[in-house]
Structures are given as structure tokens and as C-alpha cells.
Amino acid sequence: MNPTNVRKSSRLKAFVFGKSLNCVRGEFFVLTTLLVLYSVPSGHAALPEPVMLQSRISKGSASVIPDHGTSGEFGTWNVRYLVGPGGIRAGGGIRVQLPDSWHAGPRNSANRLQNSDPADEHFVTATTSSSNVTVETIVESETKDPLVKHAKTSLDGRSERYVFVVRARVSGGQLDEGDTITITYGDRSSGSPGYRAAAVSTQPEPVLIAVDSNGDSRFQLLQPLPTIRSLPGEAVEMLFHAPSQAAAGKPIEMLISLLDKENNPANRSERIKISVLSGEVVSPETVPMPSGRGYVRFLVTPKTPGVIRMRAETEELSLESVSNPVLVSKDEPLNSIYWGDLHSHSRHSWDGVGDDSFGYARNVTGLDFYALTDHSVEPPNTTTTRGLSARTWSEYTAQTERFNDPPHFVTLHAYECSFGKPFGHHNVYFRDQPGALAYPSKVTLPELWKILRQGEALTIPHHTGKFPAEVDFSIHNAHFRRNFEIYSGHGLSEAYDPSHPLSFEHSTFTSPARSLNWPSHAQDAWVRGLELSTIASSDDHRAHPGQPHFGLVAVRALSLSRNNVFQALYDRHTYATTGAKIILDFTLNDVPMGDKAIVSSSPELKVAAIGTDTIERIEILKFQKPSKTFSVAKLWEPHSFDFDGSFRDRAFQPGAIYYVRLLQRKNIRDRIVMAWSSPIWTQSVPSP
């Protein structure tokens, strides 16, 4: 292999136009016309404009060596094209595009792909096997920003975040049949640590390769295409999930999962030791973790009422995990607590990757219900961008329907409609069957409410404390907006407080951000008079919903069914946590959180909590006119796992609003652990 290269950085300067053709389920789109203008270093002529043809080429062949990697690990991969009959003339070459998952980086960004610094990460080069030929390496949208958020043009007709095209152009000589041209991702010869494999584990995905044999910058997509796969890494974390409630004498199902450092389910055969920390339960002493899936389920039987906590330990790895608490009663509870993530993305979104979010929610993070909420995006005329549209909606809803399995696991039909100001981003949820798919470029939020069926759909706003700026809560519909996402991976939207450990300033979830000093937080909505219950959800963008530090919602429902979960959301019988499955109960004169209470004087407020760790602080917050803000009406510092307390508010006045805020001692991953009840609203006894 001749290492001779002429390195030339380039940057995408113009957009793409043309028509697209849907070829296979992998969503390849070949542009009939593609115009890309490049800027090149001073002293070099502008590069010819590459044009993608509809026809495919089968001359020659391509391979990827190796054809797999370990998720998140650095390595070197060679995409090699064996030149076919006719060779490649001067000015010709190949263009290569790895799967989107192989470009996903930290903070929901793309990793920078570059040909400028041989010692830096993700350095890419091109070489040929012929000593008489020189080739130049061009990263078509190279940037100096290590966290790449902007859209870039692809070989398959998209303009999206996780897209990079590398061009190897023959700048001198000619390649003959049998010669090779190789693009090396993660060239380590000059000190680079290499190229980081996909952020998520994947099945084999195609590597797109387009060939220009004649040197006229007219490219044809090669067929067949080689594939590359990302495998999970070694297990570094264990999660232990249990139902929050149970009845004595009736078996319940427990779930243990192993994760690698990128939160993929780890493929490892392991024996798990089980012990009981509190409560009386019949349980196996060991559980075998089968190879190939990263999780195991097993049954235990509570013997008596109380609180069960259990520990799992690996026999070979130094991993352990304690289950969330299980509240055992004598009989089946009338209403049970169920846990879900209602805000999550996958490969269907232009800013997402990954393809097994439903399986992950059920089998890895142990959710009871789940909604996949990819973006609705009307495809523009100039390019085909991933997103939910009339073309993809039926496939998307069929996937949601296929995984719905009550009473074991419930899925909701949903999507994200990302409005700008003054409306804000909203997720749309349907009670049973999917309803209208709306595009934020075509309708306003009030217009969306008009096309939804009352009682059959909900719209929940999220990250209003961050963006879009200046969300206006005077624009409201109480029939459709009944909940508020108080927390997600982005950060906390409870109240404006940049110093809070969960503020957007302290989050590493996405690009560095600032809290919005505007009345668009949960407390602002409640002070204005909006009756919204609290939820939290992850806004995960890698098909890894339910992460234990990015937010979960708890609902109290009659049973685990799609209708009952939706009804609990509609009735505002919800509360939110940062992701820990904390059991929380809050009442006012026995009226539960999320409801209205008719009060004459001095209401009694009761709080019961069962933590996943030591509970450091519990606060009852109160708003009452003429005050303009919430204040702490009662504070407890239990320093225990369990708490049961009451408070009589003798300063009560009709119209007061109350909610509970809880803090635990230990962080989970890099975040403090909190919970927020839904409010209880009060009104005076009506006059006779």
C-alpha cells in the first residue's frame, strides 16, 4: 500500500437540490442531481461538483476491514474498493459514507471527522495500491467544531446531523483494474488515537460507496454494498428493576440487566447472586444471565406486607445493584404505580440513532409503558430528511402497535411537534389508535388542538425553561394540555434557577446551554392558573429510553393498559422523578395529587415516601395570593429510606396550590436524585 497522499480539507458551502428515489428499506435515496460547492485552501483550484446518478454500478467490489467494532471504542477501519474493468481515470475516485450511528458523539452531537490534524481523533486518509497514482483526501463537510450539530449532505439524499461523506480523488495518474483505493477511518500512523466506533450497538448496516470511473465527477452508487456492525462492550453497570407494588403471596417479576459504558445491553453470560435486604420474600439464591441479550427475568414471591429491597451481585464481575423498593400490601392495590418514559427518539429522527427503543424500554430499563416520540417533519422538495411524515407514519405506528403487550408492557402512539416561540415543543399522545400527524411548519399549536379529538389526545410541553425562547402560557387549552415535563436529560424546568445542580447550565446532555429567564417554567404555569401535573422523561436520542438519571414519569392507574395509562395522564394522576423509582404519595384532606380539593380551613397535608436511597429532604411548596411565587411551607429532613409525615396549614387561604419536592442523598451517575409530586389545587366551599 502506497501511503502517498495529498491532503486537502474542504467544507460544504452550498445546499443540495434534486429528486430522490426510495430504493430499499434501508432508505437509500439516490439524487438525480446533486450540487455541492467546496472551498479549498488558497492556491488550489475549486473541486469539480460531484453529481449522483440514478443508475448503480457493479464494476469492482468493496469491503470493510474489520467489518465490526466495539461500541464507543477507538479503532481503525479500512473501506477498500477493488477497481473494476476500465479503471479509474484522473479526477475520478470514490465517495464513502459510514452509517449514521458511526458518527454519533457526546452531547447528542456528531463526532468531528477530519483530515487536518493527524494526531487528533477521527483522522481519515485515503491511499492507493499503485505507486504511480496520487490521491487526495476530502472530508466534504469538515469543521473545527468537535461537537458537530449542523446538517450535512449525504450520498442518500439527506441533509442531517450524523452524516459525513469522505471523498478520495485521484489527483495524478490512473488506477487500473485490480488496483485498490482505500479510505482509512482512524489512521493512527501519526499519533491519532483512532476512530470511535458507533455510540450504539447495531445490526450490520450498509456502508455507502459511490464511484466515479471517468473522472467527470459523475458518481454511481456501488452494488452490492459492504456492511459494518457495532457490538456491545464489556459490562460495567447493572440495573435491578422491580414492580413498585405487590400483594402478599402473589409472585412478581424482577428484571436484571447489564450495560456497557455506552449503555448498550452487554452480551455476557454471568451468574447473579440474589439477596434480600428488607422484607420477607421467597427468592432464588442465584439467577443465570444468558449470553446474547444482556438481561434476565425471574420470579419472587412476597410473603408478608412491608417493603422489599433486594441486592444483585455478579459472581465474576465486580458489579452490584439494589432493586427499587416494592411496597407489599395484604391485597392487590386498587390503583398501582406504573413507570414510563414518554419522550424518546430513534433513527426515525434527523437528530437520532438506534433502532430498538421498544425492546430497550421493556427489557433493559424495565419500563411499564413507553412512547417513542420522533419528530414530525414535512419532507421538503429539495431533499429527503428523516422524520415522521405521510410516507413513514404507517410504518412507525405499526411498530408501536406491534410492541404493545398489556398487561406486561404498554406502548402509546405519539410523536414530537417542535414549535418555535411562542408555543414551545410539544409531544402528542393518543389514547388508543393514532390520530392526526401534524407538522410544526404547517400548523400552529392552537391549530393542532383544533384537529385533535377531545379526550383522545394530549399535548405535553417540554424543556420550556431552556428553548424555544419566550413560551407563552396564555396560549392554552385545558382539554389537551394537562401535564408538564418538569425534567429531562436537558435539565430542570421547575423554576428559573441557573445555580441549581439540575439546571441547563450544569447538564452535559447536549450543547452547553443557559436557563431561560422568562415565565415559562412549571411554577410560572401554575401561578398563571394552568392545572398541569408533573411528568419527567428522558428525551433520549439513541433509542436508549428510561435511563436512571434522565427522568421517569409515574402514573397511578387501575391496571396496565393503554387506556388506563392515558386516563391517568388525562386525570393528572402522575408524578415525576429524575429516573429513580421512588414511591411517593401526597394528599390534602385525602384528596390525591393532581386533583382539586374543596377546603374550608386549615387543610391537612400528608406525605409518604419510600426511597431508593436515604431521603435527605422533603418540602411542601405553596403558592397563595398575594404572593407572586412559591415558597416552602413545610420542610422535613428524614435521613432515612422511608418517610411518613403530615402538616396542617393554619395559614391557608382558598386558591392555595401545593406540591412536594424530594431530594435523596446519593447521585445516580452524574446527577442528584429528586422527585416532584403533581400539585393539589384548592378552592373554597361553594356558597349555598
Lowest mean pLDDT of 290-294, 437-441, 590-594, name the range. Answer: 290-294
Kindly report which listed range (29-43, 479-493, 570-584, 626-640) carries the lowest average pLDDT score: 29-43
Q: Which tens digit of pLDDT belongs to each residue from 317-360?
A: 999 999 999 999 999 999 999 999 999 999 999 999 999 999 99
> CATH assignment of 582-688, given 3.40.630.10, 3.30.930.10, 3.40.50.300, 2.60.40.3930?
2.60.40.3930
Q: What is the mean pLDDT of the chain?
A: 92
Architecture (CATH level 2) of domain 6-231: Sandwich (2.60)
Decide which of 385 and 645 is more confident: 645
Element (H, E) at 6: strand 6-7
Instruction: Count CA within 13 A, CB hemisphere, residue 502.
Output: 28
Closest CA to 481 of 502, 461, 511, 496: 461
Residue 497 pLDDT exceeds 60:
yes
Which residue bears the cell 411517593?
584
Cβ-count burial 125-145 (b if 16+ within 10 Å, e if not): bbbbbbeebbbbbbbbbbbee
Are the beta carbons of 433 and 404 closer than 8 angstroms?
Answer: no
pLDDT tens per residue across span 148-171: 998 888 898 888 899 999 999 999
- Between CA 354 and CA 102 the distance in angstroms is 11
Cα 328 from Cα 331, distance rounded (Å) = 8
Q: How far is residue 385's CA from residue 377's CA, in Å, rounded to a whole number?
A: 8
Q: For residue 360, give the 3-state DSSP assignment.
A: helix
Q: Return the domain boundaries, the chain.
A: 6-231, 237-333, 334-579, 582-688
Beta bridge partners of 674: 663
Residue 561 CA neighbour count, 13 Å, CB half: 7
Would you say residue 16 has pLDDT above 70? no
Q: Supply the pLDDT for residue 621.
A: 98
Q: What is the residue whose three cell numbers read 436515604?
A: 614
Of all residues in the chain, what percent carry a pLDDT higher than 70? 92
Cβ–Cβ < 8 Å for 463, 520: no
Sort 611 into a burial class: Cβ within 10 Å, 0-12 / 13-18 / 19+: buried
Residue 10, pLDDT above cutoff 90: no
Over range 416-432, report the average pLDDT: 97
Q: Find cell 426511597 and name the residue.
A: 611
Amino acid 48: pLDDT: 77
For the cut 50, the answer to whether the pLDDT of residue 13 exceeds it is no
The residues, ordered by sequence, that sit 6+ positions from 36 with a Cβ below 8 Å of its Cβ are: 12, 13, 14, 16, 49, 50, 140, 153
| Burial label, 293 (beta-carbon count in 10 A; 0-12, 13-18, 19+) | middle
Using pLDDT thresholds of 50, 70 and 90, give the confidence band for residue 687: low
- Do the domains 334-579 and 6-231 match in fold? no
Pairing of strands 74-75, 152-153: unpaired
pLDDT tens-digit readout, 290-319 = 988 899 999 999 999 999 999 999 988 999
Confidence of residue 22 (pLDDT cuts 50, 70, 90): very low
pLDDT one-digit tens code per residue, 252-269: 999 999 999 999 999 889
Q: How far is CA 662 from the centre of its chain?
A: 25
Domain 237-333: assigned CATH number? 2.60.40.10
User: pLDDT band at 402, cuts 50/70/90?
Assistant: very high
- d(CA 542, CA 108) in angstroms, rounded, equals 8
Average pLDDT over residues 87-95: 97
Q: pLDDT band at 664, cuts 50/70/90?
A: very high
CA-to-CA dists, residue 168 to 17, 94, 95, angstroms: 23, 5, 6
What grid cell was written down for 524? 410560572
Angle, vertex CA 393, rays to CA 105 and CA 204, nearest 5: 45
pLDDT on residue 468 = 86
Q: Of 498, 450, 501, whose CA–CA distance to 477 is shortest?
A: 450
**Arithmetic mean of pLDDT, 567-573:** 98
Fold (CATH) for 334-579: TIM Barrel (3.20.20)
Alpha-carbon separation of residue 116 from 184, 297, 462, 519 (angstroms):
14, 49, 39, 45
3-state SS, residue 448: helix
Q: Is the pLDDT of residue 33 over 50?
A: no
Task: Read off the pLDDT band of 45 (50, 70, 90).
Answer: low
SS (H, E, C) 398-410: HHHHHHCECCCEE
pLDDT one-digit tens code per residue, 167-212: 999 999 999 999 999 999 999 999 999 999 999 999 999 999 999 9
